[in-house]
A and B are shown apart, each in its own frame.
Chain A
Amino acid sequence: MHNVAQMDAVFKALADESRRKLLDQLHQSNGQTLGELCAHLDMTRQAVTKHLLLLEAANLVVVVWRGREKLHYLNPVPIQEISERWIGKYERQRLQALGDLKKGLEQNKTNKKG
């Protein structure tokens, strides 16, 4: 999968309240089975299954088999990538802007002195 497609899948997966609730559930208690997840959520088993598949496709949920038990884990790595790609970038620009402002003000000072 291309990186852009990967990020699209993450944004799409996060753009739904039920799926965000599922992620919050896993954050509270990692490695839950479908049955455990259903017990905490006001959703049908079918709906939870459907949402989990989408979260798995976006790599936000990772499945580990323990015997016949299918355990779901929250994988925050793609969210970290989004944070680096978007928030990190804007942060750098803000720092650059502050740096430029400082330079400008200091130059102004020396100009006035001169």
Chain B
Amino acid sequence: MQKPKLVYTTYIRSTPKDVWAAITKPEFTAQYWGKMTNVSDWKRGSKWEHHNPEHEVWITGKVLESAPPKRLVLSWADPDDLKDKSRVTFEIEKIEDMTCLTVTHGSFTTGSTMAGKVSQGWPKVLSSLKTFLETGKGLNIFCK
């Protein structure tokens, strides 16, 4: 197993089902992920895309594993640079009355520039996701 590059966790006062929905349903991601949406049928082998509000594809990949509401593994690449492919794993676990979400971003190719691009973004997205699920309102994360 290759050593993952980036690992993030957040404890959310919510249920695994709601955390799964917040990641996979465009109407939810739009509210906390800087108006971006994740689009797919989330079945293993299906394509998934990360869209901006103008429906342009910013990130694209395949659903490598899908076990709602516990585990989702995606391949991750810029559509203009498909060779720079990496892998994102969402793990959702119920811990007492909270849900622990762990995001692991790894399997970067040699010379990949993606890690540098996403390492600023993930903490913001996850902090906003937590606020969205706990208060019903996301943060204005990419407007500052």
Q: How extensive is the interface on chain A, given as a class?
A: 20 to 34
- A107 interfacial by beta-carbon distance below 8 Å: no
Contacts of A66 in B (CB 8 A): 1, 3
Q: How far is the CA of A64 from the CA of B106 in the complex (A)?
A: 13
Q: How far is the CA of A84 from the CA of B135 in the complex (A)?
A: 14
- Among B85-144, those with CB < 8 Å from A are 98, 102, 104, 122-124, 126-128, 130-131, 134, 139, 144
- B102–A31 CB distance below 8 A: no
Main secondary structure of the interface of A (DSSP, over half): mixed
Which of A6, A78, A80 has most chain B Cβ within 10 Å? Answer: A80
Contacts of A88 in B (CB 8 A): 139, 144
* Other-chain residue from A1, A30, A67, A84 in contact with B127 (beta carbon distance below 8 A): A84
- Among B1-31, those with CB < 8 Å from A are 1, 3-11, 13
Q: How far is the CA of A49 from the CA of B83 in the complex (A)?
A: 40
* Other-chain residue from B4, B11, B98 in contact with A64 (beta carbon distance below 8 A): B4
Q: How extensive is the interface on chain B, given as a class?
A: 20 to 34
* Other-chain residue from A30, A59, A73, A80 in contact with B124 (beta carbon distance below 8 A): A80
Nearest chain A CB to B60's CB is how many angstroms away? 25
- A71 interfacial by beta-carbon distance below 8 Å: yes
- B127–A62 CB distance below 8 A: no
Contacts of B5 in A (CB 8 A): 30-31
Contacts of A64 in B (CB 8 A): 4, 7, 104
- B8–A75 CB distance below 8 A: yes
Chain B residues with a Cβ under 8 A of chain A: 1, 3-11, 13, 98, 102, 104, 122-124, 126-128, 130-131, 134, 139, 144
10 cross-chain pairs, A with B, having the tightest CB-CB distances, nearest first: A73-B7, A80-B123, A80-B127, A76-B123, A77-B10, A62-B7, A77-B126, A81-B127, A77-B123, A62-B9
